[in-house]
């Protein structure tokens, strides 16, 4: 089946999750972050993901915004900056304005020009995703933004991937699913989507029962891949 629908994870895939820490570290008021911001950004993202998995496994669902705050609190503690409430608030504010990776706008425009349906499928809360999409100016090149909040559980639960077919009326093998998370791309492949893992960091492939169909270093190749 030809690919009719291209679906993207949001955080780390379309939006640079390190941007908030990088921006705060560049501001004079938060000079304490100058050297440790990469470590803080890494801790923040890892704990955000780990907390989403644990909540999914234990049935203790909450909003992704709460998970994001919990992850940040752990990360600030880990780099000895937990005692700065102004820094915490600044980082949270910046998370609503994450920058898109440079190739994202043109990539999405190319998909739309080729007649593909485009969407985000994310753990993010609807208001968080709306803020990121509007801040990055991507609203005109996305047909929809799908959030796990409608099913009350985080990825990689199959009910999340079900949202794509429910929204677009497409079969799984008509979907190209793109994620920067190897585990997400693998789980989506197990679901039946065609998948691309955007492996910007050059990480090893996760040892899971399923594997991404394609591994890319950025998103520039997605329009060509969608035509295969």
So which residues are the catalytic ones? 9
The dihedral sign for the CA sequence 75, 94, 23, 201: positive
Cα–Cα distances (Å) from 134 to 96, 103, 127, in that order, read 10, 17, 11
Q: What are phi and psi of 35, to 5 degrees?
A: -95, -20
Count the alpha carbons within 13 Å of 77 in the hemisphere toward its beta carbon: 7
Residue reference for tokens 């820094």: 87
CB burial readout 182-209, b (16+ within 10 A) else e: bbbbbbbbbbbbbbbbbbeeeeeebeee
Instruction: Name every residue whose Cβ is closer than 8 Å to that of residue 207 and which is 6 or more positions away in sequence.
Output: none
CB burial readout 118-129, b (16+ within 10 A) else e: bbbbbbbbbebb
DSSP of 144-170, one letter per residue? EEEEGGGTTS-TTSHHHHHHHHHHH--
The dihedral sign for the CA sequence 127, 133, 135, 141: negative
């Amino acid at each position: 089946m030809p690919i009719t629908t291209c679906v993207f994870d949001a955080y780390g895939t379309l939006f640079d999750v390190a941007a908030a820490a990088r921006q705060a570290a560049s501001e004079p008021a938060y000079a304490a972050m100058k050297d440790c911001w990469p470590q803080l950004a890494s801790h923040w993202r890892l704990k955000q993901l780990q907390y989403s998995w644990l909540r999914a496994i234990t049935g203790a669902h909450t909003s992704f915004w709460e998970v994001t705050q919990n992850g940040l609190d752990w990360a600030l503690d880990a780099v000895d900056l937990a005692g700065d409430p102004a820094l915490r608030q600044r980082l949270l504010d910046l998370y609503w304005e994450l920058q898109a990776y440079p190739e994202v706008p043109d990539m999405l425009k190319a998909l739309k020009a080729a007649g593909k349906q485009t969407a985000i499928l994310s753990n993010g809360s609807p208001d968080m995703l709306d803020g990121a999409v509007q801040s990055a100016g991507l609203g005109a090149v996305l047909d929809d933004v799908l959030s796990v909040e409608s099913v009350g559980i985080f990825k990689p639960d199959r009910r999340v991937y079900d949202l794509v077919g429910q929204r677009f009326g497409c079969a799984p093998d008509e979907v190209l699913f793109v994620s920067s998370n190897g585990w997400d791309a693998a789980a989506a492949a197990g679901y039946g989507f065609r998948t691309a893992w955007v492996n910007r960091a050059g990480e090893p492939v996760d040892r899971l029962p399923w594997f991404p169909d394609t591994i890319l270093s950025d998103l520039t190749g997605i329009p060509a891949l969608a035509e295969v």
